[in-house]
A and B are shown apart, each in its own frame.
Chain A
Amino acid sequence: MSIHNSTINFNHIIMNTNLYQYILGIADNSLILGQRLGELCGHGPTLETDIACTNISLDLFGQVRSYYQYAAKVAGDGRTEDDIAMLRKERDYVNVLLVEQPNTNFAYTMARQFLFDVYHLLLLQDLQKSKDLTLSAIATKSIKEVSYHQRFSSDWIKRLGDGTPESNQKTQEAIDSLWTYTDELFHQTEADKAMVAEGIGVDVTALKTNYYTKVNAVLEAATLKIPESKYFQKGGKEGIHTEHLGYLLSELQYMQRTYPNMEW
């Protein structure tokens, strides 16, 4: 084998590893948030909101399957979508810290959803323009669902913020405590940078201004205060998580770990 050939192969492998990591960076957010919302099944504050939250969860899982099927294809080593979803260790999940935060109360659930949905929609709108046709197709398919998620969670933030003094106070508390996880959405990993350079990935740093403009507009309409804290948490994208993810994963992975390769 000539040196020239082996260089090409080597570049090809790096490119695939980056693409694989890039896909996980998008998909893991939806998987973990979907699992969080799924926890509310049968525990929502009313029957209607219970169904709404689990529906959003199912939307996200649907998107996750498309991403993981593609990631399995890119990996090309016999891994399946289920292996990727269920059999990684905590440090191998690269979701942002925001989505793993617990359903402390309904205000927290909606604040987390709202802070993620605004970002998610902006990301997908740009991902549609990706040179990678599979990713752009998944984005196009997901956008209708995510537009609805954003409308749903924004409406709830306005209702709760502009509701009773108690709902206002609880929602303010949720926004204040989750605010610290918002900046991480706009951090770039090495895989992100490589994929942006290839015209495949979305430059998340460019979404930041637009994101805070949209979020602040809803918070103002909800008569909530825009948090002023400049201290932000990060780490999820590099696999360093808050203590909440371990518990979530042990529930998510329980069946596959206990009965390997089980199907239904």
Chain B
Amino acid sequence: MILKSHLELSRIQFQVWFIFNLIHKFMATKNWPLWEIFVRSKNGLEHRHFGSLHAADAEMALENARDVYTRRNEGVSIWVVESINITASNPDHNGELFEPAQDKVYRHPTFYDLPDDVKHM
């Protein structure tokens, strides 16, 4: 009896493991990894985040970015980075990350007059 329930248990365990693996495999092969796309629109400007797309590797991500984001002369340079490599801040920590700056006006460089010739500041 114990042996039987033991067998039954390991059979269920095996089934769960099997189905879990199947789903995992299916999901992994069904979707290519996600990539974040950064485009420099003009020389002198920084790369800006344009959006994200799926691609099998970096090379394909660059080609897809050409088709999805830069078809209308939007850029002079493209960066791609796999989304998994980005570490994001936790919204719960927004207070400690951002608020301390608010009551210290001297931290903001607003007391300088910028000449008109200095662009993109």
User: Is chain B found bound to chain A in the same assembly?
Assistant: yes
User: Would A152 and B63 be within 8 Å (CB), given that A46-B32, A48-B68, A51-B68 are in contact?
Assistant: yes
- A49 CB contacts on chain B under 8 angstroms: 64
- What range describes how many residues of B lie at the interface? 10 to 19
Query: Are B54 and A47 within 8 A (Cβ)?
Result: yes
Q: Write the nearest CB–CB distance from B80 to chain A, whole angstroms.
A: 12
Measured between beta carbons, the chain B residues less than 8 angstroms from A159 are: 56, 60
CB-based nearest A residue for B68: A51
CB pair A155–B67 under 8 Å, yes or no, is no
- Chain B 66-94 near chain A by CB (<8 Å), digits 1 or 0: 11100100000000000000000000000
Residues of A within 8 A of B68 (CB): 48, 51
> With contacts A48-B54, A55-B71 known, is A155 near B59, CB below 8 A?
yes
Q: Report the minimum CB–CB distance from A195 to chain B (whole Å).
A: 33
| Given A55-B71, A155-B60, A48-B55 contact (CB < 8 Å) | yes
Say whether A55 contacts B32, CB under 8 Å.
Answer: no
| Identity of the chain B residue whose Cβ is nearest the Cβ of A54 in the assembled complex | B67
Within the complex, the shortest CB–CB distance from B109 to chain A, in Å, comes to 41
A148 at the interface (CB under 8 A from B): yes
**Cβ-defined contact, A55 with B56, below 8 A:** no
Cα-based distance from A159 to B59 in the complex (angstroms): 11
> B15 to nearest A CB, angstroms?
27
For residue A196, CB closer than 8 A to chain B, the reply is no
**A55 proximity list for chain B (CB < 8 A):** 67, 71
Residue A52 lies at the interface, judged by CB distance under 8 Å to chain B: yes
Contacts of A52 in B (CB 8 A): 63-64, 67
Cβ–Cβ contact B56 & A48, under 8 A: no
Minimum CB distance partner of B64 in chain A: A48
Where the two chains meet, the residues of B that have a C-beta atom closer than 8 Å to any C-beta of A are: 32, 53-56, 59-60, 63-64, 66-68, 71
Interface residues of chain A, those whose CB is within 8 Å of chain B, are: 46-49, 51-52, 55, 148, 151-152, 155, 159
What are 18 A-B contacts with C-beta separation under 8 Å? A47-B53, A47-B54, A48-B53, A48-B55, A48-B64, A48-B67, A48-B68, A49-B64, A51-B68, A52-B63, A52-B64, A52-B67, A55-B67, A148-B66, A155-B60, A155-B63, A159-B56, A159-B60
State the 4 A-B residue pairs at the shortest beta-carbon distance, nearest first.
A48-B64, A52-B67, A55-B67, A51-B67
